Every structure is written in structure tokens, then in C-alpha cells.
């Protein structure tokens, strides 16, 4: 397996408070890798650091053979890394289509961009039906689809999804899960952050369990799903 992303001994602090305390993990080419953990474990901080939005206080991040620590956030997208953030961050007054096009702002191939907008509408038909409406009129789940669609518009090698299931109905969650499986089949490498461990681990090749800034357990998705401590802590079993 080739590692597309390699994180080594990563440390991130907010002032004096260290939120990520020396974690190491990899996301292999063509696989789905998941970080699970409860509120405040440091998952979002980790993704924001990989994206260049936060600076690490220690350790290294290597993406596609290149060290990321000196690369500014806007350049990181052009290397092939896209981030669909927690809380979605869509632009509510802009149309759905304008939001999608923002994800392609670095591209200089209009024909390819048009093709990918259509691909997003095939993946999420509701977005196509409402393409000229303000994005703020979408439901939470639909906004999540838009955030994913927008992240895909840069044709990323690595797609990072922060809690895509948050606040979604079971039906919407199934749709998002199916989309992740579809994206993986099309060759996209995915790094997923989730509190909803059951759904995430069942579609993951590898998983890492984070607790208060550290990785405390790792294994295949199936291993972790069957692990007793994971079942107790994350799947609500006694
Ligand atoms: P959640 O699922 O709730 O987002 P998480 O695992 O993603 O949890 P983080 O958001 O990365 O966790 O937070 C890790 C720790 O860092 C928490 O203790 C949090 O309170 C703290 N933290 C996060 N953002 C900031 C900030 N801007 N300033 C100070 N502390 C922060």
C-alpha cells in the first residue's frame, strides 16, 4: 500500500493548550481512513492542520511525497487535497451552482469544470434541481451534499470529510455513505472524521481512535467495529 498522506508525531496547540499531542497515522492511496473519537478529541484540529489552516507545533505532514508544513493553505488545494469542513461552511446567499464553482476556483479548464458540475448533479440530483436557488434554502443534509460536491470540484487526490453525518436523518446518512463508497470506487482517497463510529468504521479500510489528543487504538475498520472497548465507548454497548 502506498501512503498518500503521512502524519508523524503531529502536535497542535491553541495557545498553551495542546489539542493534538503527537499523533501518527497514514491514509493509503485508494482507501477510506477514519479518525473516530468523542467531542474534543482533536479530530477537527487535525484536519484543519493538514489543510494548512492551523500551524503545527511539532511533527510532520507529508502529502503525495511533499512536506506540507511550509506550504500555505491556498497552495495545498492545488496539490490535490480538499476539505469538506464540519458545520459545512457553504455560502447561504449564493446559489448552489455558485457554491460548487467556488470549489473550482484554481482550475483553468472551463470544459472540465462544467463536466464536474454535471457530475456533482448526477451524484446529488437535488443540487441539480435547485441549482439556481440560494444555498441557504437547502436542508442540513442537502447542505452537506453541497459541501461534499464543492470539495470534489478541485478533483482532489485526497478528500477530507469532517463529520459528514452530523445532524442527518438516517436516510440522508445512507445517501452520504453510498456516495463515499462510490467515490472510493472511482479512485478517490478519503480521510473521514466521525463521531458516528458504526457507519464510518463499516466503510473504512483503516481506523484510528482518538482520545484527548492522542491515538489510543488502531486497526482495520472491521477490527475496530468488533473491538470491545470501541463497542462500549462509541457504539453504546454495555
Ligand atoms: P468535535 O467533534 O467536537 O469537533 P474534535 O475531536 O474535532 O471534536 P477539536 O475540535 O479538534 O476536537 O478540539 C480539540 C480540543 O481543542 C478541544 O479541547 C477544544 O476545546 C480545543 N479547541 C478547539 N478549537 C479551539 C480554539 N479555537 N481555541 C482554543 N481551543 C480550541
pTM of the model: 0.91
Nearest CA to ligand 1 atom 20: 40
Residue 233 Cα to ligand 1 middle (Å): 19
* DSSP code of residue 54: S
pLDDT of residue 176: 87
Per-residue pLDDT of the chain (238 residues; tens, 9 = 90+): 799 999 999 999 999 999 999 999 999 999 999 999 988 899 999 999 999 999 999 999 999 999 997 788 888 988 999 998 877 789 999 999 999 999 998 888 999 999 999 999 998 999 999 999 999 999 888 898 899 999 999 889 999 999 888 777 888 888 888 889 989 998 999 999 998 888 899 999 999 999 999 999 999 999 999 999 888 887 766 5
What is the pLDDT, as a whole number, of residue 237? 65
HEC per residue, 192-238: EEECCHHHHHHCCCEEEEEECCEEEEEEEHHHHHHCHHHHHHHCCCC
Instruction: Determine the Cα–Cα distance for residues 46 and 68; give it in Å rounded to an integer.
Output: 13
Distance (Å, rounded) from C-alpha 27 to C-alpha 108?
Answer: 28
Q: Does 99 contact ligand 1 (Cβ within 6 A)?
A: no
Predicted local confidence at residue 121, as pLDDT: 96
- What's residue 198's pLDDT? 86
Query: Is the ipTM above a cut-off of 0.90?
Result: yes
Residue in 18, 42, 88 to alter for ligand 1 test, most ligand atoms within 8 A of Cβ: 42
Helix and strand totals (H; E) in the chain:
10, 10
CA separation (Å) from 70 to 3, 7, 83, 105, 188? 20, 15, 18, 22, 25
pLDDT for the residue 230:
87
- Cβ neighbour number for residue 71 with a 10 Å cutoff: 16
Q: What is the pLDDT of residue 33?
A: 98
**Which residue from 229, 161, 165 is spatially nearest to 196, judged by alpha carbons?**
165
Neighbouring residues of 101: CB distance < 8 A, sequence distance ≥ 6: 113, 117, 153
Amino acid at each position: 500500500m502506498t501512503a498518500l498522506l503521512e502524519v508523524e508525531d503531529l502536535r497542535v496547540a491553541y495557545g498553551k493548550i495542546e489539542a493534538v499531542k503527537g499523533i501518527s497515522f497514514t491514509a493509503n492511496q485508494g482507501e477510506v481512513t477514519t479518525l473516530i473519537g468523542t467531542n474534543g478529541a482533536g479530530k477537527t484540529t487535525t484536519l484543519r492542520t493538514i489543510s494548512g489552516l492551523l500551524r503545527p507545533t511539532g511533527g510532520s505532514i507529508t502529502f503525495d511525497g511533499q512536506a506540507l508544513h511550509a506550504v500555505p493553505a491556498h497552495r495545498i488545494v492545488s496539490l490535490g487535497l480538499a476539505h469538506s469542513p464540519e458545520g459545512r461552511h457553504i455560502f447561504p446567499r449564493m446559489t448552489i451552482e455558485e457554491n460548487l464553482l467556488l470549489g473550482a476556483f484554481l482550475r483553468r479548464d472551463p470544459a472540465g469544470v462544467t463536466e464536474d458540475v454535471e457530475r456533482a448533479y448526477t451524484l446529488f440530483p437535488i443540487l441539480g434541481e435547485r441549482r439556481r436557488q440560494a444555498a441557504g434554502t437547502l436542508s442540513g443534509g442537502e447542505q452537506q451534499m453541497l459541501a461534499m460536491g464543492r470539495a470534489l470540484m478541485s478533483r482532489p487526490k485526497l478528500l477530507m470529510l469532517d463529520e459528514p453525518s452530523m445532524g442527518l436523518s438516517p436516510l440522508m446518512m445512507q445517501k452520504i455513505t453510498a456516495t463515499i463508497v462510490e467515490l472510493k470506487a472511482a479512485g478517490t482517497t478519503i480521510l473521514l472524521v466521525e463521531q458516528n463510529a458504526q457507519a464510518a468504521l463499516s466503510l473504512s479500510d483503516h481506523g484510528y481512535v482518538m482520545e484527548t489528543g492522542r491515538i489510543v487504538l488502531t486497526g482495520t475498520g472491521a477490527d475496530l467495529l468488533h473491538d470491545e472497548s470501541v463497542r462500549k465507548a462509541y457504539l453504546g454497548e454495555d
